[in-house]
Amino acid sequence: MHYRTLGDSDVEVSEVGFGAWTVGTDWWGDRTDEDAIGMLDHAFDRGITYFDTGDVYGHGRSEELVGEAFADRREEVTIATKVGYDFYNNPQAGHGELPKEMDPEYLRDAVERSLDRLDTDYVDVLQLHNADVEELTPEVLDVLDELESEGRIRARGLALGPSIGWLAEGDTAIAEGFDAVQLVWNLFEQEVGNHFLETIDELDAETSLIPRVPHSSGLLNEQVTPETELGEGDHRGFRPDAWYETGWEKLEAIRFLEREGARTMGQASIKWLLAHDAVATVTPTFRTTDDIDEWAGASDVPELSEEELDRVAELYATNFGIERDDGMDSLRSSVDGEDLREAGIDKQPAD
């Protein structure tokens, strides 16, 4: 495993991180607390030191499990959490989105509650969870400054979503000097990541990017194939059939990234993201210890060559040669915000 520094902080992260949204909830399969802690331990043994959780995951249970797993080795791991969803005063139905709360007083209280559950005096990276651009107010930024000066947090980030897009939010975080922006980014969904690379370059910013969903919801690691039947309640089931069908065609177009015995497609998907200097760590969705063994190893597999990177860029520019629609237009925010403007929503960065 190799390690990088987050933003302009002194926070070190493993190139492959553990998205702890998979523990503490049943959205990615049922597991006991013992199994969950076993996965966290296994990841640590494989060199993973960056663990990314959130207060809303299992309504605090994910944080509790992370805190329990690393109680006796706190200084050996980097813990990130997220605040901004008010699950304390609102019930959650299924996978529905809870009301957000970015009031400075609420955020400070939420951080203290997270620290209690994590059983720690500080969190290495605090991320605002899906904050809208209008919620990134001077008062919110002041709270982050205060928490950092008090030693309660070491770095600040913004976790974007749940939709693919949210460019104004990410641009604002980069302009405000956030240490990290977390986003959906992978070989098949590149537009948003490419946009933030341009923003970082234009502003000469130090902000790091943290890609999640590097395997495009199971396509790039081939855990979802034409023979797969997604179980009831599987969060990936919302995507239309056409998205999977075109995805399998794209997968065949990039088979050249595999190297038998040296680099799997799942590892190549992570390695492609790590080829971008702005990327600090990649957080795949681990479901099993086998996943951890394979994808943690991505840090050490052969680098993608310039020829491979150029070929990927050329394929993406032509939609991998696929002309038909993937059925996602109604679920995707456009990069330039045209759909948002037509809806009368102002999502541009504040001056």
Structure token pair of residue 9: 């902080």
Measure the CA–CA gap between 311 and 295, rounded to whole angstroms: 23
Selected catalytic residue, list 3, 50, 57, 106? 57
Q: What's at 18, amino acid-wise?
A: F
The SS3 of residue 332 is strand
Burial 27-41 (b: 16+ CB within 10 A, else e): bbeebeeeebbebbe
- Say how many C-beta atoms besides its own lie within 10 A of residue 240's C-beta: 15
Alpha-carbon torsion angle 68, 73, 77, 78, nearest 10 = 70
Instruction: Please spell the DSSP secondary structure of 161-182, one letter per residue.
Output: -SSB--HHHHHHHHHTT-SEEE
- Say how many C-beta atoms besides its own lie within 10 A of residue 339's C-beta: 14
Measure the CA–CA gap between 4 and 207, rounded to whole angstroms: 13
Residue 50 annotated among the catalytic residues of the structure: no
Listed residue (53, 48, 24) closest to 36, CA to CA: 24
In degrees, rounded to 5, the angle at the alpha carbon of residue 43 between the alpha carbons of residues 40 and 46 is 155
Positions marked catalytic = 57
